Structure 1
């Protein structure tokens, strides 16, 4: 077993009032409007996430045991339950075309373990999200290499706003309006047999109606977004995206005991870019 190299621990920003609202620097709380504050300003490196694997070399197509140890000053750290789990790990391929949301299980030695199979070779990012006992949430990113054949896939370039899963059609309705500099409303409709579903059709998943995750294609900036109730959309959220670029979004929801994962490609434009387009159209008229 060996520890894999990891990127610096990332700072999570939460609301001072409802701390379950989180985002990135510059975001405002979608509930009360307050500026989000960093929960790791005192010592962002006080917690370490150590990853070991069995076998040591990870090969595509073969199961591997992932063992996570959360430590502070080389001592195991006890974790609170957060969103129904002790630890959340979002596993994302470098090209953003493969995603898994996994929950390693507590072992007798204090570590957390789970078995996973990677079907494609290449680099993967493991975003580990947890809450030390009595402390604030921590987000850490690890990188691993999977040996074996790398099957190229479509780049995250063109917009994708409709996803088909089983008998469901999931629609991200307002992708043309996504831009930096203001509150971004995420409106997601779900249809089955051409009938629109309401919020009451969804079961609780990880303590809320859905799980929304966005990641920037260029620098892998990570953003978790918590849905809020809405009379029209079964999944609705508000956030403030500070950086323009191409993003991948995953939306997870639960119906009849089964978790479904929809994915979308989004192009976030800067507010200045949007203003220039408006001025150009006005000039052409």
Structure 2
């Protein structure tokens, strides 16, 4: 009888142990599956979040490229905090000479912008004389242009696009002769009539609200006459403040319209030159506007 009870106890112990081991095994399997599922879910969500962030970054970058394209048409280069190209301008005996070097005294390599490697803008002290020239490259950072300047004080703007170098278009003083005017004290009068006629060709300027830090549209009505292509577009616009310090070179918003967009970061009086080509000749139409 005693042996029978011991046998029964042994069998019960074995069964109990088997149940414990089996239960633990099932629990472990279920827990493992749960962890695997949780890990898979976390990984998937993490990847989806990462892909979403990457996609948003791509979209933001793409939008930035659309709005700040490689050639936006605006040549004031305001974004650069330093100038890595040093430019000197001289005038003697009807010859304008431009000498430019980078910080290592090497001639910078320039990119072509609107069919020219350099746009040279020259204005007189009273902002009445205006010239848009395209000097020729002579090598070793030297560029020249034959042109007769009358005795006066000028500001010269060398509009270029150096490769891989920061560059900001800044005014360069140029004095021709002994008696010359000064840029300081320049008093421009705002035009009440924004219609100008040059060489029997009339152009009228209309604008959106002239405020600061907002997109401003400049529309030039050429009175039914389509300008001839000039430097890759239907026209060009150069804007200076009344002191001849702030320079903006703007190009049309499309190849088929004489419509331009720009921004003004400060209130004041500005002079606008709209350049359009008719009958093989480029006319520069001057307008004086006020930004409030």
- Residues 271 and 286 of structure 2 are in contact (CA less than 8 Å); yes or no, is this contact kept in structure 1? yes
- Residues 187 and 235 of structure 1 are in contact (CA less than 8 Å); yes or no, is this contact kept in structure 2? yes
- Residues 83 and 167 of structure 2 are in contact (CA less than 8 Å); yes or no, is this contact kept in structure 1? no
Return the alpha-carbon distance in structure 2 between the equivalents of residues 66 and 105 of structure 1: 10
Is 1:107 aligned with 2:145?
Answer: no
Aligned length: 223
- Residues 233 and 255 of structure 2 are in contact (CA less than 8 Å); yes or no, is this contact kept in structure 1? no
Return the alpha-carbon distance in structure 1 between the equivalents of residues 181 and 173 of structure 2: 19
Q: Which residue of 1 aligns with 2:194?
A: 161
Return the alpha-carbon distance in structure 2 between the equivalents of residues 209 and 225 of structure 1: 12
Q: Deviations over 1:217-243 (max 9, x none)?
A: 036211122211398xx4111222121
What residue ranges of structure 1 are gaps of 5+ in the alignment? Answer: 1-13, 26-35, 55-62, 270-285
After superposing on structure 2, the runs of 4+ consecutive aligned residues of structure 1 that deviate more than 3 Å are 14-17, 22-25, 133-138, 148-152
Superposition CA RMSD, Å? 2.9
CA 170–120 in structure 1, closer or farther in 2 if over 3 Å, else same: farther
What residue ranges of structure 2 are gaps of 5+ in the alignment? Answer: 1-64
Q: Which residue of 2 aligns with 1:48?
A: 86
Is 1:214 aligned with 2:232?
Answer: no
TM-score when normalising by structure 2: 0.67
1:238 pairs with 244, 247, 261, which one? 261
Equivalent positions of 1:81-100 (< 5 A) are 81-100=112-131
2:252 pairs with 219, 224, 227, which one? 227
CA 171–85 in structure 1, closer or farther in 2 if over 3 Å, else same: same
The higher radius of gyration belongs to 2
Of structures 1 and 2, the one with the larger relative CO (CA 8 A, separation 6+) is: 1
Q: Deviations over 1:189-245 (max 9, x none)?
A: 112xxxx23xxx2222222221111111036211122211398xx411122212111
Return the alpha-carbon distance in structure 2 between the equivalents of residues 18 and 188 of structure 1: 23
Q: Deviations over 1:165-210 (max 9, x none)?
A: 11111111248x322243211111112xxxx23xxx2222222221
Return the alpha-carbon distance in structure 2 between the equivalents of residues 230 and 88 of structure 1: 20
TM-score when normalising by structure 1: 0.69
Return the alpha-carbon distance in structure 2 between the equivalents of residues 143 and 182 of structure 1: 31
Return the alpha-carbon distance in structure 2 between the equivalents of residues 179 and 76 of structure 1: 40
- Residues 276 and 284 of structure 2 are in contact (CA less than 8 Å); yes or no, is this contact kept in structure 1? yes
Q: Indicate the SS of the match to 2:260.
A: strand
1:186 pairs with 218, 239, 244, which one? 218
